[in-house]
A and B are shown apart, each in its own frame.
Chain A
Amino acid sequence: MASNAAVPFWRAAGMTYITYSNLCANLVSQCLKEPYRSEALNREKVHFSVSKWVDGKPEKPTTRSDTPE
């Protein structure tokens, strides 16, 4: 079995495949004509709130949102 010799340059720089794939997809979306461009960028909008738990208690939640309030 060959050792993992030729790693892709992005993996050597510390990037995972998912990050690479999403980066490529975003680049392609940015090069689309309207209205496809706004549709593609709108599809990827997220809105969620995350709270970490320490010692069995939730900390203050942080909200990540792409939609303007």
Chain B
Amino acid sequence: MLRRATTRILSHRRHCSTAEALKVPAADDLFMVAWKRTMPNLDPPKTPLSFLQPRPSTASAASIPSKMTINLVSSRSSGLSNKQVDMVIVPATTGQMGILPGHVASISELKPGLLSIHEGNEVTKYFISSGFAFVHSNSVADIIAAEAVPIEQVDPSSVQKGLAEFTQKLSTASTDLEKAEAQIGLDVLSALNSSLSG
């Protein structure tokens, strides 16, 4: 019985939601109204919208904010959220890309490399293993990486050892897959190496 009630509410929502695709309501008004009508005695469940934190609107191109807001999200390491910075340089596959406030909206795939965050006079460097960078038109940048480690946590001797090991693996690799793996190892480690020194 409950399942039918929810499907009825959801189908009602689907008809009305396209008009509101652009603005995000703070609370799920339409859902609450429909819920109370069908199940007045039961507490309404929490919907994903109530967990959503509002983001700055992407609307006007009039004013360019003075600072970028960046979110660094990583599945395996801790990140940053809503940090106000002056500039961030990401290691895109097309090369090091600097992102300043007012940057055009873009999506770039990242290659293993150094991410540097410039705030005032200080520069914080993270090594990104791979990921994506989304820049929105309101000067909010989301950088998503599998591993984002502060460069201080990298051990130089392991990098050298890995470089030697993978150079050797590349020469002895037979199948395409082994060659690709060895090549990836070399790419990552040489990026690590140059970010340690650079």
Query: A-side interface residues toward B, CB under 8 Å?
Result: 9-10, 12-15, 20-25, 27-33, 36-37, 40, 43-44
Contact = CB atoms under 8 A, between A and B. Distances in A.
Contacts of A29: 76, 147
Given A31-B155, A31-B159, A40-B76, A23 B184 contact: yes
B76 A20 contact: no
B147 A25 contact: yes
Nearest to A23: B184
Contact of A25 (B146, B153, B176, B177): B146
A23 B162 CA distance: 14
Contact of A36 (B149, B162, B181, B185): B149
Given A10-B184, A21-B131, A33-B154, A40 B77 contact: yes
Contacts of A15: 177, 180-181
Bin the interface of chain B by size.
Answer: 20 to 34
B189 interface: yes
Given A36-B149, A36-B153, A44-B76, A27 B185 contact: yes
Given A13-B180, A28-B149, A20 B129 contact: no
A31 B162 contact: yes
Contacts of A10: 180, 183-184
Contact of A31 (B176, B177, B180, B192): B192
14 contacts: A10-B184, A13-B176, A13-B177, A13-B179, A20-B130, A21-B129, A21-B131, A25-B76, A27-B185, A28-B127, A28-B192, A31-B159, A31-B192, A33-B153
B158 interface: yes
A64 B112 CA distance: 30
Given A13-B179, A14-B176, A36-B153, A24 B76 contact: no
Contacts of A20: 130, 184
A22 B75 CA distance: 11
Contacts of B153: 32-33, 36
